[in-house]
Amino acid sequence: MIRKALVAVSLLLIGLCLGWAFQGIGIGRHAIAEPQREGFQLVGQLQNNQQPAGVQQVQPFNLPGPNVANFPMQGMVFPDGFVPMTSEEAINVSVYDRTNRSVVNISTNSVRPESIFSLTEIEGSGSGSVIDQQGHILTNFHVIDGTKQISVKLFNTDSFSAELVGQDPDNDIAVLKINAPDSLLFPQQWGDSSNLRVGQHIIAIGNPFGFERTMSTGVISSLNRTIKSKTSRKIQSIIQIDAALNQGNSGGPLLNSRGELIGMNMAIATRSGDNAGIGFSIPINTIRRVVPQLIATGRVQRPTIGIMQVFETEKGLLVVVLTPNGPAEKAGIRGSKIVRKKVQRGLFVFEHDAIDHSQSDLIVGIDGKKVKQSDDLLTVIEAKKPGDQVYLNVVRNGQIIEVPVILGNSE
């Protein structure tokens, strides 16, 4: 009897141990398969300089396994429930959501003579941006150059006949106007192009090959490029980007991560005619100087200071070439000189021309404002009228002097 009782007790103890063991394994599996997601709730907006509008913060939850990168980005969710995977994705989606309705599709019709007795009608297309609720549209001059009929299609596919308000061929800028209801006009928010940096994230929206409101992204590849316009005048301070631009993107907006308009896309460098990763945009600060004049008078009366070329240095603008008998030269501004130098090589002496910058003036300010880039100088000058007087602060022989210059007329 005693032996049977001991066996029964032993079996009971073994059963209890096995039950506890299996119960522990079951809990462990449940914890792996069903991670705890309590706390997944909205608690307010992210405090971040690049936080997209409408994105909110959520309490993070524990993610199982090592492949955390395969799960949505912790801490962000859009009002419609979309959860971005990365902060860059959140910025791109947010900027597009807020700005795409400001982008328009521009269609044009023009005629080209094929022979004495026949004309061929040519259709063209481009992009543009709504800039106010009066119906003004910003685009490139080359998009509407030579056209007899212009049509603007808005985000909701409504089309309106457009009239040309003003054009500046030298800067490849034009302003159109449509008579559309205020409720359909969403103006772009203007930014500032004076503090752009190479490597900065940018977003382009346009109508490549007629595919409306197409977005591409990239970075600023370089700054202060120079591009010739259709009038062969050099457009200064051009932004170079690597975002995909193709036929039909001309006139479309270039945006920063805050959705601000920092430029207008105008051209690409290519051998095939399609995108090769090198695009160019007119900076918004150039557009800001020109557009008010185009809306007011239809044209640009451009003052000139008579300085044809400068070198940008860390300290200011080194004057290289002056317009002969121009305003700056008349005021006594000094540029670089071409000097004849002799070089001896063995028994022979050679002469060659060299540029001497030693006597050149270094422009460090204009009208009390510091100057470090060409755009700083142009911003002040193009806000003036021909005949106005400006004061240049220049370094000459180690000293800063003030030189008054009466602006001329570029025409």
Q: Which residues participate in catalysis according to the annotation?
A: 142, 172, 250
In 3-state terms, what secondary structure has residue 349? Answer: strand
Nearest alpha-carbon partner for 302 in 172, 383, 410 = 410
Which ranges of 87-160 would DSSP assign to H, the alpha helix?
87-99, 141-144
The separation between CA 98 and the C-alpha centre of its own chain, rounded to angstroms, equals: 16
Exposure string (b/e) for 153-169, b if CB count within 10 Å is 16 or more?
A: bbbeeeebebeebbbbe
Which ranges of 256-323 would DSSP assign to H, the alpha helix?
284-297
Name the token pair of 355.
Answer: 């540029």
Helix or strand run (H / E) with residue 11: helix 2-33
Name the token pair of 31.
Answer: 């914890």
Rounded CA separation 71/85 (Å):
7
Query: Contact, 104 vs 248, CB < 8 A?
Result: no
Rounded CA separation 265/281 (Å):
4
Question: How would DSSP label each residue in 166-234?
Answer: EEEGGGTEEEEE----GGG--PPPB---TT--TT-EEEEEE-GGG-TTEEEEEEEEEEEEEEE-TTSPE
Rounded CA separation 1/7 (Å):
10
